[in-house]
Structure formats: C-alpha cells, structure tokens
Amino acid sequence: MYISLQDMFKIGIGPSSSHTVGPMRAARRFLLELPEGTLQQAARVQVELFGSLAHTGVGHGTDRAVLMGLCGEIPDDVDTDSIPGRVQAIHTQQRIALMGQYTVPFDPAQDLLFNFVDELPLHTNGMRFRLWNEQRQLLAERELYSIGGGFVVDAEEHFVGSARGAEVEVPYPFATMQELLELAERAQRPISDLLMANEVALHGHDSTIDFIQRIQQLMLDGVARGMRAQGVLPGVLQVPRRARGMAEQLMAAPLAAGEASMSWVSAWAIAMNEENAAGGRVVTAPTNGAAGVLPAVLRYFTERHGQAAEAVQRFFLVAAAVGGLCKRNASISGAEVGCQGEVGSAAAMAAAGLAAALGASNARIENAAEIALEHHLGMTCDPIAGLVQVPCIERNAMGAVKAINACSMALLGTGVHMVSLDQAIATMRETGRDMQSRYKETSLGGLAVTFSVRQVDC
C-alpha cells in the first residue's frame, strides 16, 4: 500500500491528530456515510469513546472535536475561534444540529460517553456511533478508529494505510525502504524522482506542487505565529509559552554559530508545538503531537539554503515516504506504540527530508532516517494531565535537533551502517507491542503519574 504525501500530511487543528483531528473526521464520516434518508429520521445520536480516547480525551479536546464533527465541520477549515462558544451552546441548549441541518436533543452527559473500562478490538482509539429515530429504533451503529496522524478507518479498512481504504496504483509501489532503494537503483534515479512520479500519477503535477507549497507555507507561518505569541497555554497545567522569550534571549546575547543554530531550531520546534497545544492550525507531520519537528528542520534548511522549490519538494516527498513506511510497518500512533511512533517517526522523516534537500545519495538518505529513528526507540507517551504539553513540546525540540544531527552523521560517515531503516521500523513495532498500555497515551504511567497533577483534576 502506497501512502500518498497528501494522505500523510493533513491540515488540521491541535492539540492531537489522533484525539482531535481523527475524532472530528470520524463523527462527520459516520453521518455522511449513512444510507440515504437515514439522517432525516434522526432523533438521537450517541458517541462512545474507548481506550486512550477516553483516558486522555478531555485534555486532547476529543469531546469538542466530536461535537464539531457531528455538526459537519472538518479540521482543515473549521473556525477555531468559534469552537468554545459553539460547544458551550450545545451544553446549554442540550441540542445539536447534525451536519448543521438536522437538530436533535443532545445531552453530553448521556450522549457523549467516556468508557474507561472497555476497548474495541482493533485499536485503542476506538469510537462507537449510534443513531435512533423518534420511536427509539436503532437506525445505525458503526465503530470507527482513529489510528494516528488523522487517519480514520473502520474494521474493513483497518491498517490499510490509506483513508480511501483501497489499493492504489502507482508507477513505483514499495512496502519497505529496501524495495524503494532497489527501484531507484534499477531506474538510476533519486528516490525523490520516483516518489514524485507516484504523486503525479495519483494527483497530477500541479496539484502535487500546489499541495507542497501550501503545507510549506502553513508550517513556516505556524512557526512564525508561535514565535510571536505570548501568554499561557490552555489547561490545568498553565504552561507558559516559551518560544518568544527564547528568541528574544538569542537575539540579545548571540551564541557561537553552531550552538546558536541548534538553539534556534529548538525555539522553532517549540513555537510550532505551542501553537498545536493552543488548538491552532497545524500540519500533521506525521501527527499533531510531533508537528513541530519537520517545520523546525524545514526552517533550518531554508534559513541556510533558501526556499529553492526543487529542494523543498524533495524534502517533503522523502519525508512523506519515510512516514508512510513507519505507519505501514509499525505505527505513528502514540496510543499504539508510544512517542517513538510520533516524535521518533517525525525525526526520521525530517532527517531523511533534510538529507534529500541537501542532495544526498539514496543510501545516505536511508541512513539519516535510520539514525534518527534508532535513537528514539522505546520512548513512551505519558502526557501530564492528558495535555499535549509536558513533555510533548520539548520532545519536539529534541526530535528536531536529533534529526539534524542524524543527517549530519549520515552525510559525514562512510555510508556503511549496521542497522537498516526497515529493521529500526520493525523494532519500533515490536517495542510498541511489548510496551504496557499505561505508557501509551493514557496518562496512567510515566511522568503523568510521577507528576502531582492527576487526569481527574482536569
């Protein structure tokens, strides 16, 4: 299964791709895919959240996202400023307008349920949707899963890798990095050329270029917004924004060139992830929780080398391919494999993308991705108070710096390395399977427990 660049990078809102973007898409999808005439009969809708969605849903804004999805909104363009008022109106009026048209009674206490005991069989991020008519007859029932990065699937589509749920015909299909490298070797072309051919086959040349330009601008704009913003992030922790202060310090007391570069990278990554934590618009890369890594590395590249279109295209094409392999052969979901699947995958994507943008060989691109992922293996997902803030924001900074260092090591070395990217991805999958569920985005272990604030306090 080929995962397109336009599937891997999604435009959404914070703070979480799996807990905010995915549930909003799932709620809307449930209503959109009802048999014709069913929605018009609706008198009651109920949503039940399971597993990680239940345990950290409040902190991640899952409840608000579901309500907006039922109203017909999508993360790409929903007016984020209007969400608090609309959610409050639903709670106050005890009514909701399904798809913005069909108003039914809705009591969040009875109709939006957090199931802390059970899990659905296919994935911890499970949702069950039910719809009744006025005679209390069940019109529809469906289970959907938010499997990371904003991807939503049902039982039949489970883990197929594409939101479309079907095999996609591309000129250069591959399931592993080794297969991609072999295809490139036979074609005597950079892997970015093969990936561009795949995207053009799926979406056309102009659409592909336009999409890359759009996500590039959104990432750089997000960093810029985060660098200007002040105040405190929402939630019980009252975490102060730091990026602007870091920038002011760097400009006031310049450091040595190398030290300053990495300090700026950290500030950019923190800026982007603070925007995510504040519920702003971000690009999943591959998830919202890791959305600061690629923008920081992209900014690092453009500050040094300019915004040459071909280099930026290589950056995103190769990054998307690495992210797709992580998703296909392991997971990008913190609720499934821990933070190694989020920040670890993001670092691998950024390292490979940076190497490609710099014109590195295919072998060194693979090496860069492997180094970055290898040194995130085993990382748990333990957000304090169920918020995508501590330790998540700083982990983005660390992931970005590691990505740049991994790229540097790959370019400076001989190119010979012991572990392949495919082996590192397989290890991430097995490590995730072995990891206890309390370390996988439940806030029931790790820092979330060691720290004094408990999820129930939220």
Print pLDDT tens along the chain (458 aa). 799 999 999 999 999 999 999 999 999 999 999 999 999 999 999 999 999 999 999 999 999 999 999 999 999 999 999 999 999 999 999 999 999 999 999 999 999 999 999 999 999 999 999 999 999 999 999 999 999 999 999 988 865 444 443 456 899 999 999 999 999 999 999 999 999 999 999 999 999 999 999 999 999 999 999 999 999 999 999 999 999 999 999 999 877 766 788 999 999 999 999 999 999 999 999 999 999 999 999 999 999 999 999 999 999 999 999 999 999 999 999 999 999 999 999 999 999 999 999 999 999 999 999 999 999 999 999 999 999 999 999 999 999 999 999 999 999 978 789 999 999 999 999 999 999 999 999 999 999 999 965 444 44
pTM for this predicted structure: 0.93
Per-residue pLDDT at 32: 98
Q: Is the dihedral of CA 382, 388, 392, 396 positive or negative?
A: positive
Per-residue pLDDT at 416: 85
Q: What domains lie within the chain, and their CATH numbers?
A: 14-153 (3.30.1330.90), 177-457 (no CATH)
Q: What are phi and psi of 325, to 5 degrees?
A: -65, -40
Per-residue pLDDT at 456: 40
DSSP 251-304: HHSPPPHHHHHHHHHHHHHHHHHHHHHTT-EEE-SS-STTTTHHHHHHHHHHHH
Per-residue pLDDT at 415: 79
Note the Cα 287 to chain centre separation in Å. 1
Per-residue pLDDT at 157: 81
Which token pair is 220? 């750089």
Which token pair is 28? 């809307």
Q: How many CA atoms lie within 13 A of 71 on its CB side?
A: 20
